[in-house]
Chains A and B, each alone.
Chain A
Amino acid sequence: SQTIHQWPATLVQPVGSPLSLECTVEGTSNPNLYWYRQAAGRGLQLLFYSVGIGQISSEVPQNLSASRPQDRQFILSSKKLLLSDSGFYLCAWTGTGSTEAFFGQGTRLTVV
C-alpha cells in the first residue's frame, strides 16, 4: 500500500535561518507531488507542485523553493526564513489522472 512520510512534525526556527522539509512517498511510482501552507484558521495555499523529477511549478512567489531530486522525494527549502513563513506545511501526492490525493500529517513551523 502507498504511504506518505513528512517530517519533522514540529519545528521552531529563528528568523534568517535555513529550512529544509522533506516528504517521501512509498508504494507508488511517478506520483504528482504537492506542497501546501496553511496559516492559522485559513485554507490550504498551494505553494509548489511537481509532475516529475526536476519539474517544479511555483504557484506563489515567495521566500521558499522546492526540489524533486528523486521520483518519490519532494523537498521544501528556504535560505533565510521570515516570520511570515510560520504555518502548517502539508505535503500531498496523487497518482496520474484524476485520482484522490493523500496528505502527510504536516509540519508545524514557527519562526521566532
Chain B
Amino acid sequence: DAKTTQPPSMDCAEGRAANLPCNHSTISGNEYVYWYRQIHSQGPQYIIHGLKNNETNEMASLIITEDRKSSTLILPHATLRDTAVYYCIVRYRDDMRFGAGTRLTVKP
C-alpha cells in the first residue's frame, strides 16, 4: 500500500502557482519524498525529491514540513503543459509504491 495521501484532483489557472499537497504521516527517518508526474499515456517523469530540506530545481520546488509528515510541490508558473497526474511517494532504496496521485488541470 502507498504511504502517501493526495487530493484526487486540483485546478490551477495558467500562469499562477500550483501547490500540490501530500501527506506522509508514517514516513520513517531514512525515507525520501519523491514527486513524479504522468502525462496521459506516457511513463511517469521524475520531478524532484528531498529528505529534510526544501529543494528547488528548474521544474519545481519541494517544501517539506519540519516534522516531515507532509510536503508540498510547487510549480511556480503553471502552463497548460503541466496538466498531468502528480504522484508523491516516500521511498528508501528498492521500495517504490505509488498511490493514486493528484490530477492537476491547468486552465487558460
Contacts and interface: CB of A to CB of B under 8 A. Distances in A.
Contacts of A46: 96-98
B100 A43 contact: yes
A44 interface: yes
B99 A43 contact: yes
Interface string A22-64: 0000000000101010000011111001010000000100000
B38 to A, nearest CB: 8
Interface string A95-107: 0111011111110
> Which of A43, A90, A106 has the most CB atoms of chain B within a 10 A radius of its CB?
A43
A59 B42 CA distance: 23
A88 interface: yes
B41 A32 contact: no
A94 B91 CA distance: 12
Interface residues of A, number: 26
Contacts of B42: 105-106
Given A98-B32, A100-B34, A100-B49, A44 B44 contact: yes
Nearest to B98: A44
Contacts of B108: none
A101 B87 contact: no
Interface in B69-102: 85, 87, 91-94, 96-101
A81 interface: no
A109 interface: no
A21 interface: no
23 contacts: A32-B96, A34-B96, A44-B44, A45-B98, A46-B97, A46-B98, A88-B41, A92-B43, A92-B96, A94-B96, A96-B93, A97-B93, A98-B49, A98-B92, A98-B93, A100-B34, A100-B49, A101-B46, A101-B96, A102-B46, A105-B43, A106-B43, A108-B41
